[in-house]
Structures are given as structure tokens and as C-alpha cells.
């Protein structure tokens, strides 16, 4: 399967005779996966003949490419990261976490629930015309986000009571 019409060839003896081909009784060639009865009938005033065979269209292979962010990318725990990849079949790619403090929402949005290594798997399960694509795994590193701390009320006057410094 590759999405194009699967046309059967034919030869006649003597060569050059007009042969009408049908696929399960239709004159158009099939595009989808399946088995089709192909009949060839000579269409000539001087000759007759017919042949029947089976055209088998198998599932097509697909691969995943353009998986971003790329393997080895680094993020901080407050980042929200958009995931994307392309299946050569044009079918939708699915994402899942396989390791670490990562969570996926809305199918393509990666967030982090803590620091550590996060493995994200891109997959495409196929359909009636395409076999499952080999999955891809990209590993990311999530580190804690930096926070700013400011001390306040550092200059105070002694009055005999405990002094409190604020944050």
C-alpha cells in the first residue's frame, strides 16, 4: 500500500491485443489493502481469451521522523513543552511517558512534575492500510526551576523584643 492505484499489467499472445481488466468487477484499479479478483478479457474481433488472478495489496510501512524536542534536550520543571513528530503515512502520532516525572496533556503538551530524566515515546499504531511504525523514544532532563528569595526588614532598632526578618 502506498495510496496509489495498484494497476496489474498484462501481455497477450499474439502481442498487442486489447485486454479489458477488471478488479472485483470494476474497471478502476484499487488503492486500499485487500485481495481483489482480477479478470482480463481479450477485446478483439479476431481473438478471444480470458484469465483470472488475484491481486493482493499488503499494508504499507511507515516511519516516524522530526520528533521534537530532540533527544537530549534540557528543561526546567516549570516549562510546558510542545511535542511533535511526523508519520510518513500522514496518520496522527501519539505521545506517552515511559520514564520519569513527565505528564502529557491534550496529546502534545509535556509538563514536569519534578526533576529527573523523562522518556517520551512517539508512536503510530497504523490502520487498515498501514502497519504500526517503529516507536521512537527521546530522553529529556528536567531540572528544578530557580526561585528568587529576598530578605526584608534587615535594618531594625533594638527595643528589647525578638526581631523577625521577613521573606
**Model confidence pLDDT, tens digit, residues 115-151:** 999 999 999 999 999 999 999 999 999 999 999 999 9
Give me the mean pLDDT over the 91-103 stretch. 97
What percentage of residues in the chain have a pLDDT greater than 90?
90
* Mean of pLDDT over the chain: 96
Given this model, what pLDDT does residue 166 score?
A: 77
**Model confidence pLDDT, tens digit, residues 54-72:** 999 999 999 999 999 999 9
According to DSSP, the β-strands at 80-82 and 109-112 are antiparallel
**Model confidence pLDDT, tens digit, residues 8-30:** 999 999 999 999 999 999 999 99
152 close to 167: Cβ distance less than 8 angstroms: yes
pTM for this prediction: 0.78
Residues in the chain: 167
% helix, strand, coil for the chain, step of 5: 0, 45, 55
122 close to 64: Cβ distance less than 8 angstroms: yes
Amino acid at each position: 500500500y502506498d495510496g496509489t492505484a495498484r494497476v496489474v499489467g498484462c501481455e497477450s499472445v499474439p502481442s498487442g491485443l486489447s485486454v479489458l481488466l477488471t478488479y472485483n468487477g470494476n474497471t478502476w484499479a484499487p488503492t486500499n489493502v485487500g485481495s481483489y479478483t482480477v479478470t482480463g478479457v481479450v477485446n478483439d474481433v479476431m481473438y478471444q481469451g480470458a484469465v483470472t488472478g488475484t491481486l493482493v495489496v499488503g499494508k504499507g510501512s511507515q516511519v516516524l521522523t522530526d520528533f521534537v524536542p530532540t533527544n537530549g534536550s534540557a528543561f526546567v520543571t516549570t516549562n510546558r513543552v510542545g511535542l511533535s513528530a511526523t508519520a510518513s503515512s500522514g496518520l496522527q502520532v501519539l505521545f506517552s511517558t515511559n520514564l520519569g516525572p513527565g505528564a502529557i496533556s491534550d496529546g502534545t503538551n509535556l509538563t514536569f512534575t519534578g526533576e529527573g530524566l523523562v522518556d517520551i515515546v512517539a508512536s503510530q499504531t497504523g490502520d487498515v492500510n498501514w502497519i504500526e511504525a517503529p516507536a521512537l523514544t527521546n530522553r529529556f532532563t528536567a531540572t528544578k526551576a530557580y526561585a528568587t528569595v529576598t530578605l526584608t526588614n534587615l535594618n531594625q532598632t533594638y527595643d528589647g523584643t525578638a526581631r523577625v526578618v521577613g521573606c
